Amino acid sequence: MDSSRRQILLTKTKTSRPRTISWHTPGGNATGALEQGAATGFLYTSSTTGKPFANFSSNHAQIMRRIQRDNPLFRCFGVHDLRHAFAVRWLKEGGNIYRLSRHLGHSSVKVTEQNYLGFLTVEEQERVQFQAEQIFEGVPTKSPTPA
């Protein structure tokens, strides 16, 4: 973790390739969670015991089932859905699709486009495409002004 640069090194990734990501992005700001985690040494801890979760994903599933049992109208979501929501929010907030693709560890920007552009409005898709073209051409990015 490099607090001066607000970056974190991920060593255990899906592709087994470590990567460094920013923790303050158009998709969200993890500063508070990371500062709290730094105090204990763990990012995900139980609010009741204060102990770290052995497996965040399975604990998340247990929590979802418990909430749904108490509220049948609650729509459960998986840990991967949080990643998806983050990516869509990143793009809606004007974030760069190339940075997002690297941040998510995708093999190419095409993977990012296929997974997330469909959740944007036509105007948002055009803005993302315009930014990508500007980057590809080496032009400083600036959103197009509506006519």
CB 141 within 8 A of CB 134: yes
108 φ, ψ to 5°? -155, 165
Among 67, 62, 4, 49, CA closest to 31: 4
Residue 70, classed as helix, strand or coil, is: helix
pLDDT digits (tens, 9 = 90+) for 99-117: 999 889 898 999 999 999 9
The distance between the two most distant Cα atoms of the chain, rounded to a whole number of Å, is: 57
Predicted local distance difference test score (pLDDT) of residue 56: 74
Which residues, including other chains, have CB under 8 Å from residue 14's CB and lie 6 or more apart?
105
Spatial separation of the C-alpha atoms in residues 57 and 13, rounded to whole Å: 14
For the chain, how far is it from start to end, CA to CA, in angstroms? 44
Structure confidence at residue 147 (pLDDT): 38
Run means of pLDDT, 10 residues per run, the chain, 147 residues: 77 81 82 76 75 77 90 89 92 92 91 94 93 75 46
Which pLDDT does position 5 carry in this prediction? 80
Interatomic CA distance for residues 119 and 130, integer angstroms: 17
